[in-house]
Amino acid sequence: MDPRPQAATARIRSDVAHNARVWNYWLGGKDNYPVDRAVGDRVTGMYPSIGEVARADRAFLGRAVRHLAGDVGVDQFLDIGTGLPTVNNTHEIAQHTAPHARIVYVDNDPIVLAHARALLTSSLEGATEYVDADAHRPEQILRAAEPTLDLGRPVAVMMLGILNFVLDGDEARSIVRTLMAAVPSGSHLVLTHPTLELGGEGNEAAMRFWNENATPPITARSREEFASFLEGLEILEPGIVSCSRWRTSPREPEVAQFGVVARKP
């Protein structure tokens, strides 16, 4: 799909903090506005480990994609809720291991769309595509991914830090089910999600502040709610853990963000 930076620019609101830009700020990026930095700083004041959560989430993404592309042999990735381009984007990690890997990125934030060209630097052997679409419309995402991904072969469906913006649990489960029903056995689901468990209790007030001052609104989920996204899938070792602990040392400090990789049998 054609990333239309000019049309995207018209949709950008610089007066309201947006998740993709605040996430970019917490990761040390420069693609954010004063309003994003102000809200980002207020949240950090209430919940000081939010920057560690963001960094741990990205590091988890790197380990999960390397494992899938390298050890498992998955070479197609559907990365929904891409975020702003940063270091070690999904296609860079996947194609470093498997140069022929094909990646479709999906986000609905116009600022991500405006920067999408930075995500379209595929290896010659592989492919990357960017789709401006909403996670609430999984069928539309699948249709848009089809020209780039062969949905008859295994796909890694990645939803890192995005189901938390689908506030209704039944809808979030239905989105995951629709996506995973469209891909064959051997496909994988890669998820991260904020929680008030794992030491995240202090995030409650920060999330309330976020919901009053920024977009889109967010929710945390318990381990049980997170596990409900994995119905019918085989959970890879080490299971549902803090994303900072996924295939790292058990001495690694936990962050209040679940991470998991699961396989469709």
CA dist 242 and 65 (Å) reads 17
How many CA atoms lie less than 13 Å away from 218 in the CB half-sphere?
Answer: 24
Residue closer to ligand SAM by CB (options 126, 138) is 138
Find the shortest distance in angstroms from Cβ 25 to ligand SAM.
11
Find the shortest distance in angstroms from Cβ 136 to ligand SAM.
5
Q: Is 33 an interacting residue with respect to ligand SAM (CB under 6 A)? A: no
Stretch that binds ligand SAM, among 32-40, 41-49, 79-87, 256-264 (CB under 6 A): 79-87
Stretch that binds ligand SAM, among 121-129, 160-168, 206-214, 239-247 (CB under 6 A): 160-168
Find the shortest distance in angstroms from Cβ 212 to ligand SAM.
18
Among 3, 23, 50, 190, binds ligand SAM (CB under 6 A): 23
Find the shortest distance in angstroms from Cβ 5 to ligand SAM.
16
Total of chain residues touching ligand SAM, rule CB under 6 A: 21
Q: Is 74 an interacting residue with respect to ligand SAM (CB under 6 A)? A: no
DSSP-assigned letters across all residues of the chain? ----HHHHHHH--SSSEEHHHHHHHHTT-S---HHHHHHHHHHHHHSTTHHHHHHHHHHHHHHHHHIIIIII---EEEEES--S--SS-HHHHHHHH-TT-EEEEEE--HHHHHTGGGG----SSSEEEEEE--TT-HHHHHHHHTTTS-TTS--EEEEES-GGG---HHHHHHHHHHHHHTS-TT-EEEEEEE-SSTT-TTHHHHHHHHHHHEES------HHHHHGGGTTSEEPTT-SEEGGGTTS-TTSPP-SEEEEEEE--
Residue closer to ligand SAM by CB (options 17, 180) is 17
Residue closer to ligand SAM by CB (options 167, 184) is 167
Residues in 97-116 that interact with ligand SAM by CB under 6 A: 107-109, 112
Residue closer to ligand SAM by CB (options 57, 75) is 57
Binding site for ligand SAM (CB under 6 A): 19-20, 23, 57-58, 61, 81-83, 107-109, 112, 134-136, 160-162, 165, 216
